[in-house]
Amino acid sequence: MHSRAYFLLERDFQELKENNFKGITAFPVSEDLMEWGADIEGLQNTFWHGLFFQLKINFISQYNFVPPVVKFLTIPFHPNVDQNTGRACIDILDDPDKWNTSYTLSSILLTLQVMLSNPVLENPVNLEAAQMLIKDESLYKQEVLRLFNQPTQLRNNSPEFPKDQDKLIRSTKAISFNDYYKTWSGIATSKATEYYRSPLLEDPNFVVEYYKWKKAELQHPKEWNLK
């Protein structure tokens, strides 16, 4: 008999199929749906665009009362990613009090995608990346790109992509700046410095905003431009 978490993850999987978010790919790699692989690409009109990062996501049977464990397998040079373990350091994953049962696999992946170009510079887990970004943004960008081409990757833990393409969710939907900002103006690891104009904050009403967002007709999306 399947667990409650299994049925919730089936729901999350269907949500991913229905909402082809641009730059997000996800797939289960275990029959019980407790282990997932994912790829995220940086947002358009940021220097992260065109860079793809592989992740591993582990759920437990208590999901969605507790968050999953999320690690980058392709580790970016980023203030909010542990350079040694690949752990993504954001409050909704690290602090049980910040986790909300309304969050889904889609919301986690979208948060991580936005996090790439919207780092929180207060209490960074990668101090070197944060200091470089504050001191010289141009040098930081160069270092991100240099290290991406010589990636630190947890290769032994890389999930294998499924042969069945129905199990692979590759996104195609473009997201407008206004809708992205409205939805994600509530999710963050901590108060971001004014160095970045579009911080991740915390939004307890994510699901309401999310479903308003997905119903919107975005015929000519205006993409992020944080350059």
Residues annotated as part of the active site: 89
Residues whose CB falls within 8 Å of the CB of residue 196, separated by 6 or more in sequence, listed in order: 118, 119, 121, 226
Sheet with 52-58: strands ordered across = 69-72, 52-58, 35-41, 24-28, 169-170
Q: What share of the chain is helix, strand, coil (3-state, %, to 5)?
A: 35, 15, 50
Q: Which two tokens stand for residue 34?
A: 């407790």
Residues whose CB falls within 8 Å of the CB of residue 24, separated by 6 or more in sequence, listed in order: 16, 38, 39, 40, 41, 106, 109, 110, 113, 169, 171
Q: Which two tokens stand for residue 181?
A: 């900002």
- Distance from the first to the final alpha carbon of the chain: 51
Q: Which residues face 187 on adjacent strands?
A: 202
